Amino acid sequence: MKIAIIGAGAYGLAIALMLYQNKHDITMYVKTKEELGTLKNKQINEKKFPNVKMPKEIKFTNNMQECVKNSELIFIMVPAGFVDDVSRELKNYYQDQYVCIGSKGIEQDSCLFVDDVFRKYIDTKKIAVISGPSFAVDIAAYAPIGLTLA
């Protein structure tokens, strides 16, 4: 399955590792050129997850359209405060894919849940939210964790 992951922080990278282990084709959207260069050249995010090296088969881009094009599933793995900006940009490229939001919490100013923030821009029923008491470092270490998908 071709999967797009928007957000290359610790949680996004950890989820990418799990999906890659299950033989999926992963492309990750990275916001800054600096992070993109490091991830492409060294396969690590030095600021967020310096001890985890990513497989070379996972692709990185700072072009959201390129990231989500032809994907079957889109993961949004950014902090809750950035879901609005990501959703606003994603609406330009969204092609009725399934979406899984892994952002934790609520939007500070509006107190909206992340799926409600997303739905301000993209009207779909193909949406899920993943949550649970887990840490990215445990996911990346393949430790047993529990997550809920709703």
pLDDT per residue as tens digits for the range 47-90: 878 888 899 999 999 999 999 999 999 999 999 999 999 999 99
pTM of the model: 0.94
Which pLDDT does position 59 carry in this prediction? Answer: 97
**105 against 9, higher pLDDT:** 9
Over residues 10-30, the mean pLDDT reads: 95
- Whose tokens are 């990275």? That residue is 30
**DSSP for 31-71, written as a single string:** SSHHHHHHHHHHSSBTTTBTT-PPPTTSEEES-HHHHHTT-
Confidence of residue 30 (pLDDT cuts 50, 70, 90): very high
Looking at residue 105, the DSSP 8-state letter turns out to be S
* pLDDT of residue 23 exceeding 90: yes
% of the chain exceeding 70 in pLDDT = 100
